[in-house]
Amino acid sequence: MAKELKPFSVANIVKFLSSMLLYCCLFAFWVFPAAIHGQTVDRVEKIEGKPRNGQVKQVVIHATGGPDCNPRISFKSGTLGGIVNHFKNNQKKISIHYIIGRDETIVQMVPEDQIAYHVRCCNRKSIGIELINNGDGKDPY
């Protein structure tokens, strides 16, 4: 008796591709740790956060530019100095652990053992990274 094949659905294809991407990323972390962990911080602009009590379980990568919640509004990426000043001087008390410039300069804003406020639900267990990027899918970095 032949087994009946189920037709592919978009949801199943997306689920499969997501799993493959996760496995590839985990493999890269295992095979190439020096390439990932070997980066050095070029500059430190200290913003104090509350002490982190738990383990880091997520890395959240943001783009400095891109669409707003209102689809008619879009932001341009800005410069590394401008984004650093934005986080140092903002009134909303948002913060980030690292900012990476287009020239690959890495600026640490909040130490990893402290909480940065960059997402609504997961600040206590995440590291936040801000990429200077237009967030439009065309900007390569």
Whether the per-residue pLDDT at 69 is higher than 70: the answer is no
> Which of the four pLDDT bands, split at 50, 70 and 90, describes residue 81?
confident
Whether the per-residue pLDDT at 24 is higher than 50: the answer is no
* Predicted TM-score of the model (pTM): 0.65
Instruction: Specify whether 65 is located in the same domain as 96.
Output: yes
Whether the per-residue pLDDT at 46 is higher than 90: the answer is no
Give per-residue pLDDT as tens, 92-134.
888 999 998 888 888 999 999 999 999 888 899 999 998 888 7
Q: Is residue 68 part of a domain?
A: yes
Instruction: Specify whether 62 is located in the same domain as 108.
Output: yes
Annotate the chain with three-state secondary structure: CCCCCCCCCHHHHHHHHHHHHHHHHHHHHHHCHHHHHCCCCCEECCCCCCECCCCCCEEEEEECCEECCCCCCEECCCCHHHHHHHHHHCCCCCCCCEEECCCCCEEECCCCCECCCCCCCCHHHEEEEEECCCCCCCCCC
User: Looking at per-residue confidence, does 136 or 116 come out higher?
Assistant: 116
Residue 66 token pair: 């891109």
Instruction: Specify whether 30 is located in the same domain as 79.
Output: no
Q: Is residue 66 part of a domain?
A: yes
Instruction: Specify whether 58 is located in the same domain as 118.
Output: yes
Q: What is the pLDDT of residue 134?
A: 76
Q: What is the pLDDT of residue 29?
A: 44
Question: Total domain count for the chain?
Answer: 2
Q: Is residue 3 part of a domain?
A: no
CATH code of the domain in which 54 resides: 3.40.80.10
Instruction: Specify whether 51 is located in the same domain as 30.
Output: no
Q: What is the pLDDT of residue 138?
A: 73
The whole domain housing 50 covers 40-131
Instruction: Specify whether 96 is located in the same domain as 55.
Output: yes
Instruction: Specify whether 127 is located in the same domain as 69.
Output: yes
Q: Is residue 71 part of a domain?
A: yes
